[in-house]
Amino acid sequence: DQQVKQNSPSLSVQEGRISILNCDYTNSMFDYFLWYKKYPAEGPTFLISISSIKDKNEDGRFTVFLNKSAKHLSLHIVPSQPGDSAVYFCAATYAGGTSYGKLTFGQGTILTVHP
């Protein structure tokens, strides 16, 4: 049962253009969502998060949008840079249990930004 899905295994974008990575979830209990970036042979690095009480959160070039009715979130990177090339993971959790560390991850999307 894949509760968090990233249906695009890969995305290729030209430098300077917008990258849009998508994520869908099925568990309506999820109320906190995160995006992580991962380079090969390294651990994931936290990028940006959003609580279910918001529909948008922005941090520099990164913006996350949340559509609760559609159970969908997206990460926008503008402008895209070659250094953004990595695997991007969407993750979700809920306010049950000890804290927000018990994340359910999507399968990841490989982003390639071409110079």
Partner 1 sequence: SQTIHQWPATLVQPVGSPLSLECTVEGTSNPNLYWYRQAAGRGLQLLFYSVGIGQISSEVPQNLSASRPQDRQFILSSKKLLLSDSGFYLCAWSWAGRNSPLHFGNGTRLTVT
Residues of the shown chain interacting with partner 1 in the complex, contacts defined by CB under 8 A: 4, 6, 32, 34, 36, 41-46, 49, 51, 89, 91, 95, 98-108
Judged by CB, which is closer to partner 1: 69, or 98? 98
- Taking the complex as a whole, the smallest distance from the CB of residue 78 to partner 1 amounts, in Å, to 22
Identity of residue 50: I
Distant-in-sequence, close-in-space partners of 49: CB < 8 Å, separation ≥ 6: 32, 33, 34, 35, 57, 64
In angstroms, give the least distance from the CB of 108 to partner 1: 6
First-to-last C-alpha distance (Å) of the chain: 38
Question: Which CB atom, from 12 or from 51, has the smaller least distance to partner 1?
Answer: 51
**Residue (5 or 71) nearer to partner 1, CB:** 5
Helices (H), the chain: none
Residue 8 to residue 84: CA distance in whole angstroms: 17
Residue 65 CB, nearest approach to partner 1 (Å): 18
